[in-house]
Amino acid sequence: MQKKLIALAVAGLASTAAFAQTNVTIYGLVDYGYSYRFDGRDVNSVVPGRPGGPTPGSASKLDSGIDAGNRLGFKGTEDLGNGLKAVFLLEQGFNVDDGYSGQGGRLYGRQAYVGLSGGFGTAVGGRLYTPYYTFMLQMDPFANGTVGAYSNAWRVGASPVNANGTISSTAAAVNGLMDPQRVDNALAYISPSFGGFQVTAAFSNNADGGDSTSNNAQNNSVYAILGTYTAGGLTVGANYHMIAAGTNVAVVNDIQNFTAGVAYQFGNGLKLSGAYTWSETDFNNPNRLTALDNIKLNNFLVGASMPFGKFTPKASYIYSDGDQWGDSQQIALGLDYNLSKRTKMYTAYSFLDNDDSRFAGVGDGSNVGSYAAGNGYAAGVWQQGFNIGVQHKF
């Protein structure tokens, strides 16, 4: 299920329960399957003096939310008259394999917002998907799910630098800010469509956690704007956002991201897509970074999918140029088999390769891929991943 932001999420609501003049829809998704990962390393990728040598390793598990995150949601509208509507959405994530809540135990960790919609557009506030992320889901044929997820190679992973005045922990912390999927304390506005052109603008006073009443300048403030144009099978868009990282990641001054992409779906169902992202993390205390500079990434994606009856094969190639942080690239193949309009089986395979300075890793819809410093690896690790599972929407 493609995750949508605001206007896309509140459009076309169907009522399953009526309370006064409010239409409420209950919906959800359940996803469960098997994940396998195999990694390899040569002598140069092993930290000297640590045990383990160049022996490859593997891991397998039964997991949930692999192709798309499990969710239970409530969304609705109320007609206020004169074309004005109140809108809301509450969506919680959960794990099928152990029954726990997702997103760190938040009650409605996937989305939670309320707002107004009318001829002026849609304005909402709460915990929201970022404009960047909703756009990338349209560009990635895997919609950032399974082992084919674009975010595997588009993050730095961890760093081999130790924590005595260096940034091994900081590198892991900024991964989520470099590829921001949701933000707390957010306001967003989506304009009406003007001949296919639409603008989304968003602001957050603190991207992660409660906002401060005493020193807002130190919060993880987010400023974002996305412009898209759709006509027939064509979708073109560009997004810019800036995050002032503040106290949550103390040595980071700000993170900037520019993304552009284009996708075209032909009449036979073939969809081709391509996207580019420039991302830079600016450290406010570079003297702490042993032999390392600000994080600069140039990321590229090309993807394709094509339905054949009940089958939909898909593929993508992803490359990330990280300057002295190293390069990473991933090739992914996948296949969906639609048992019905709401139930499918899926499988996916990916191969990800790092150069001698990169720590990216294969994850899936339930786990972001990266290698942590101190596990016997230096860098330059390659990894393969495989998924098979079943998904039902209701």
* Structural domains in the chain, sorted by start: 7-393 (2.40.160.10)
Higher pLDDT among residues 105 and 24, named by residue: 24
Alpha-carbon gap, residue 361 to 364, rounded angstroms: 10
Instruction: Over range 10-19, report the average pLDDT.
Output: 36
Return the pLDDT at 360: 79
Tell me: the pLDDT tens digits for 23-74? 999 999 999 999 988 876 544 444 444 444 444 567 788 989 999 999 999 9
Q: What CA–CA distances, in Å, run from 342 to 17, 55, 103, 360, 390?
A: 21, 43, 24, 33, 11
Alpha-carbon gap, residue 160 to 175, rounded angstroms: 15
Q: What DSSP designation does 192 have?
A: P
pTM over 0.85: no
For residue 178, pLDDT over 90 is answered with no
Alpha-carbon gap, residue 329 to 278, rounded angstroms: 16
- Least confident segment among 104-108, 136-140, 260-264: 104-108
Alpha helices in the chain (DSSP H): 7-10, 131-139, 168-178
Q: Quote the percentage of the chain above a pLDDT of 70.
A: 73
Return the pLDDT at 115: 97
Q: Quote the percentage of the chain above a pLDDT of 90.
A: 51
Cα of 81 vs its chain's centroid, Å = 37
Burial level of 388, CB count in 10 A (0-12/13-18/19+)?
middle
